[in-house]
Structure 1
């Protein structure tokens, strides 16, 4: 290698390192487990935080196993946000241990316990962790993020509070928007059938009956009896559409559709919903608000 080539490599490496450090210099390092939480942290933290999300599009948090790279990201973070309610499964133990040496917040801690659904009835944990599907619950999560950032970085407290106020106003608007949109579906058709029972909070908040093939956790097994019972329900109640999920294989729902067809009833896939993970980064569905809007519009178009 010539001397000039070596000099060029050193210069480029130095520039690259400078650019990387410059992009995060002075910012509080935040790591969030799910995309939904990472999105909230970015909205409220704004220019003062650098947020790393562990679980990307299509990732099922119920089955997620932390890699060495994930552990490194958690160790390097000044603040960690996670869902709680055992959504993150085995990662919960890691997060609880880290809470002894750094700021670790479960964003669901601020939701009143009497507003949480039991998870045990459908083979899950003590509480159903899918609280983000009731936008009013996710407002509590946003407040938890705000309060944590204010405490961890008081120098920028006013900015965090102002950004949180603006974001909470958007969430309140979204909550009303979803409620109004669901009214377009005839009451008898407000039945949401999905691959796993993730939409219970959505159903209660916005007036829909919700049924899932699997329980609250995708780690729960389903059998032939579960498939046949759900198939018969679709046939007996003339349900025209079911929905697949971006983070759950569609195979089971396709089996139910085929079973209904054998009984002379046509069921279609009404669309793909985002349940435990958001859409790709840079898309509308790659934000919490965009994800909720996409799901609502997909459900309404298929069932109205």
Structure 2
């Protein structure tokens, strides 16, 4: 009986050691990179290829301004080797989490790498940075260089691969920028006004020549009232704007109120379509990639405003 018990315990220990060794080997062979948003996750996949495993905390339809880390998220962050987040207060409710994690592993807020003179701010509150940097392709590339730099620091033997992949991806982004300019040119100049639920598109507007206005401020955490709605309605009527846009990660309640307000003044407004602002589309779809999301937005805007 003692021999049987000894063999049973020994077998369990060996299996346990084998499993631990396997997990350790997997982790050593392919570092786990955790990102907050899908935009960052997509960039890491482009730059790192299959050299790392990538997990994003925030999926389609998730608003990063309001996002709070769950217990499962904290576990995922603990397991990660590298953490990339947007910064500039986009993930404002996770600041304490990042500060804690920085003491344990490599944590980078990629937006912090962008020169301050290139960061837009809230007109009403100049001290509040606009975190929607992914909509300005040239500025976004500066943030992505921080990803490449960090990956090289962590995996120096793969430097050539990371640099090569970054260059190839940046060429795709340059092509995207040229294509966008061509499409925007289809909109008559007087009609190049983009009205959305919140101020997520100013980097985009600045880069392509659109006048961008949002009902809410740069964060969906900010409140809006009847006066805000009335101001937007008055602007729509005065400028004879025919379409406004809703966002995949923001409730359409406010924009419906704007449409009703315009209707009361005898002005008909259509919803031009749904834009991806703070979140991308579902994984496995074209809109689930940065370039696919960007093209969807451009096509939706142009087709509604031209």
Q: Would you call these one fold, judging by a TM-score over 0.5?
A: yes
TM-score scaled by length of structure 1: 0.91
1:162 corresponds to: 164
**For the residues of structure 2 that align with 1:113 and 1:24, how far apart are their CA atoms?**
36
1:38 corresponds to: 41
**Pair 1:183-2:185 in alignment:** yes
Alpha-carbon deviation of 1:96?
2.2
For residues 140-197 of structure 1, give each alpha carbon's deviation from its aligned partner in whole angstroms, at most 9, with x where no partner exists.
1221111110111112111111111111111111122212211110000000000001
Change (3 A) 1:199 1:44: same
TM-score scaled by length of structure 2: 0.90
Select the residue among 52, 64, 69 that pairs with 1:66: 69
Select the residue among 287, 301, 304 that pairs with 1:302: 304
**Pair 1:284-2:248 in alignment:** no
Select the residue among 208, 211, 230 that pairs with 1:209: 211
**Pair 1:225-2:223 in alignment:** no
Residue 266 of structure 2 aligns to a residue in which SS? coil
Residue 90 of structure 1 aligns to a residue in which SS? helix
Matched residues, number: 289
Alpha-carbon deviation of 1:245?
0.1
**Pair 1:259-2:261 in alignment:** yes
Residue 211 of structure 1 aligns to a residue in which SS? strand
Alpha-carbon deviation of 1:94?
1.3
Alignment RMSD, CA only? 2.0
For residues 5-28 of structure 1, give each alpha carbon's deviation from its aligned partner in whole angstroms, at most 9, with x where no partner exists.
xxxxxxxxx9xx89x969877111
**For the residues of structure 1 that align with 2:127 and 2:183, how far apart are their CA atoms?**
31
Q: Whose Rg is larger?
A: 2
Residue 92 of structure 1 aligns to a residue in which SS? helix
Unaligned runs of 5+ in 1: 1-13
Unaligned runs of 5+ in 2: 1-15
State the 4+ residue runs in structure 1 displaced beyond 2 angstroms: 20-25, 121-126
Q: Is the 8 A contact 1:24 1:50 kept in 2?
A: no
Alpha-carbon deviation of 1:123?
5.5
Alpha-carbon deviation of 1:205?
0.9
2:10 corresponds to: none
